[in-house]
Amino acid sequence: MRQFVCPACAAVNRAAEGKDAAAAKCGRCGERIFTGKPVEVTGAQFEAHRRSTHGAALLLDVWAPWCGPCRAMAPQFAAAAQRLEPEVRLLKLNSDQDQNTAAALGVSGIPALFLIAGGRVVARHAGLMSAEQIIAWTRQHLAAAGA
């Protein structure tokens, strides 16, 4: 069994392996666990996902609303979410709203991607990528990490 945080109410839920995982609903609020869209998170919510997600990876996009490349990558990141869920949960963190988390991650340029497996960062990338590049980069690094 894998474990995920509900994007609607933050309850921790278990989801079955395989094709049924994509249809999983939250045991508390009844909302879908996987929406095929990135989940906007605060630093505290990111930590909850990091701590409570088991059996899947997290892909965090650290961005800012004033950043042109961040705005250009947003639809690419959303398209990647449709193809990577439920194997990978995609999260977005606004660095302007949570500078402490961005600093703790060592963000030096945005957009910045952090691939997390088993609660630890296994790969990072700064700069604009297309949906195909995000997907390939994620799968390559997950395979290299044995996740």
Residues recognised as catalytic: 67, 70
Strands (DSSP E) contained in 8-117 are: 12-15, 39-41, 57-63, 88-94, 112-117
**Residues contacting residue 78 through CB under 8 Å, at least 6 positions apart:** 37, 38
What are the tokens at 56? 């899947």
Phi, psi torsion values for 51, nearest 5 degrees:
-75, -35
List the beta bridge partners of residue 4: 13
